[in-house]
Chain A
Amino acid sequence: MTNAIEIRGLRWQPSNSFAIRELDLTVPAGSIYGFLGPNGSGKTSTIRLLMGMAKPAGGEITILGGRIPADLPGALARTGYVPERPHVYFGLTVAEAMRLHGAFYPRWDGHWAEKMRDFFRLDPDQRVGKLSKGQLGKLVILLALAQRPELLILDEPTDGLDPVVRRDVLTAILDYVSETGASVFISSHLVHELERFCDWVGILDDGRLLAEMPMEAFKNEIKRVRVVDAPADTGPDLPFQLLGRHPSDGLGAGEVWIVRGWEDGMSTFFTQGGAAVRDVVHLDLEEGFVELLRASRPGVWGGINGTGLGLHKGVGEDPHVPDPAPAGEGEG
């Protein structure tokens, strides 16, 4: 098994306003895969489909070599899941929730779970419904990890947690991964958080995967190229990978191209066709993320060229929120 998760041609349309269309996604075994996307882009829906909570209209899902939904119970037994909102029964105590959870998972490590509970300082007799948000987040992570999964699927696990709890949770996850070599599929809109430990990244918007590549490649190989008189039809012989393009944002004429694999001298590709390259800017993860979104939805992600600020909650729901990001780092 070389891939922890494989999605091919996934289709699902829960409503008229949203659909997942022909989604292809691969999470290599042993990787930590950051699943990035603005709110409402379909991250949670994709995870629900992965976990067998919804029935896709088409396509194939494979988790740890098992087809979903045919092999769902077997796959779920080897998968730790942390949902967007805590799902544990609120009427149970912490200890009862742990006992219940452990009963369903053959590889549940009760001893390790107790150690984790001590580490997280969770009172075993405390009712789940009485736990604070941070404690609840810790409990859910504890449950997912103590079942000793080969794959962790985490849906915005640190969302809404304070920095201390967030650090504890991420530390626990990373310790587990380094100890077991498990794969992690983690969705988030907090780009900087993922940047620190993910080795693969996939960017989703409006139910479509815009890009999927190793984190290093994303951080080092994504450039923003400002092109004047850009050709409408690029043809098949591009010397670089074009991830997206969109009209310039008012600070200059022409178009902005988001490309991967740019090398010095490639400007000749444009000059031969009568176009000109105004500037080439190296993008970090967050800048690349924003530019990709901007390119995927021209007219929606308008505003000043930049990154970061448009990625907080609410942007996905309200496309009119301005995107006042700082200018990208220039390339020599």
Chain B
Amino acid sequence: MSSLIGCAGPAVPLLLLSFGLLVPFRGIPAQEEPDSTLTTIRVELDSLIPLMRAGKKEADRAEWLMRKRAMDETQLPVDTFFAGPFRVISLPEQRILAEEVFTATWEELRPLVDGSEELLEAWTFLFHHYWSRDGMVLEGDTLLRRVSLPKRYPRSSLERSATQVVGNVLMRGMPQDLLDWSGGQPRVESRRLAWVARELVSTPSQAVRGCFHGDLDWCVEAVGLGPEGANWERWYTPAELRLYVRSMGSPLLDQLEVIWEQCVLAEADEACFEYLRDRDPVIPLSVEARASLLGHALWTGGPGALGRLRGAAREPLLDQLTAASGMPPDSLLASWRTSVLEARTSAWAGLVRSPLSFLLWIVFFGALAVRSTRWRLG
């Protein structure tokens, strides 16, 4: 074991060093062939990524063993428990809190990975609510995904923190282009869907408007997965583009400023297109909405959804989502749209049950007033 640690310990810096030195030793590309040289370098770099990942894995394992050895030597008492596929280490006095936090987090995540739990990396988490008296020993860990917050932070913050780190496990297995597109962890909470509903109504984009009206082709465009790819003109009308340009504010460069003014003030559509030409089109619906679509695909896909998603990693994004959901694109988008619209919160929400507790509180406060010190004989 010690030899393994001895070998793997310096592996990471060596790998990084070689990775950094690799580019200069590949030689200076000829000026007349910049594109092909860049492509070659990119391919070479890509080929090193698996090696780097393998090395990092070894380094992780080495650090884990170092931590374990340190704990064995100090006889530090720790409690270990499992939440789904995850192993959680905590100090004994924090065990109950840790278990509650991780169990809640796992229950939240479970619908998204139902039937595909084996695909999740069995990460080990180190739970610190705060640095306890033994914390200095555990603090040496850099490998373990630590959920630790200062003492003054409330439990809800701990749960958010745990959700974040556990959600990262789910994301690790997902295709990169899907992650880039969704911009974050998949979401299914109705509270977030309510925000998406507001987006669906108020985003100045003809694609979003069409989606709100039930045109599923527009829904595909609104989340940026249309067959024509990113397209300012298709997603936004000239008036909406003008609004978008206006929201970007007046540029500092004189030349751009003239175009900006032509677009915004003179309402010249061509100027707007010209102003946005060099910018990547902004997908009408936000990452929040897209993450909700990803979450919806996993959630509606039921058992094995995550496995099917990974299996379709080389497919276009929309196909990945439909593979996960097990539904054709139109059905997926229709059910997502329905769930978004259903998540709209009415202002009457909660008001139906409020009067019940309200009446009890009023009577309670009234009784307190009768029992006041002013009314000694009451």
Q: Chain A: residues with CB nearer than 8 A to chain B? A: 52-55, 69, 72
Contact = CB atoms under 8 A, between A and B. Distances in A.
A52 B376 CA distance: 9
Contacts of B376: 53-55
Nearest to A54: B376
Nearest to A72: B377
A53 B376 CA distance: 7
The 9 tightest CB contacts between A and B, nearest first, are: A69-B377, A55-B376, A52-B377, A55-B377, A54-B376, A72-B377, A53-B376, A54-B377, A53-B377
Contacts of A69: 377
Contacts, number: 9
Contacts of B377: 52-55, 69, 72
Interface string B340-378: 000000000000000000000000000000000000110
A72 B377 CA distance: 10
Given A53-B377, A55-B377, 7 more contacts: A52-B377, A53-B376, A54-B376, A54-B377, A55-B376, A69-B377, A72-B377
Nearest to B378: A69
Interface residues of B, number: 2
Nearest to A68: B377
A280 to B, nearest CB: 48
Q: Is the interface of B mostly helix, strand, loop or mixed?
A: loop
Nearest to B377: A69
A169 B377 CA distance: 32
A55 B376 CA distance: 6
A143 to B, nearest CB: 22
A69 B375 CA distance: 12
A54 B378 CA distance: 10
B200 to A, nearest CB: 56
A54 B376 CA distance: 6
A186 B376 CA distance: 25
A56 to B, nearest CB: 10
A69 B377 CA distance: 7
Contacts of A53: 376-377
Interface string B308-321: 00000000000000
A278 to B, nearest CB: 51
Nearest to A70: B377
9 contacts: A52-B377, A53-B376, A53-B377, A54-B376, A54-B377, A55-B376, A55-B377, A69-B377, A72-B377
A54 B377 CA distance: 7
B371 to A, nearest CB: 13
Contacts of A52: 377
A83 B44 CA distance: 101
B68 to A, nearest CB: 70
Contacts of A55: 376-377
A50 to B, nearest CB: 12
A270 B376 CA distance: 52
A221 B142 CA distance: 104
A53 B373 CA distance: 11
Interface string B176-195: 00000000000000000000
A197 B377 CA distance: 34
Nearest to A52: B377
A204 to B, nearest CB: 22
A263 B377 CA distance: 48
A55 B378 CA distance: 10
A243 to B, nearest CB: 34
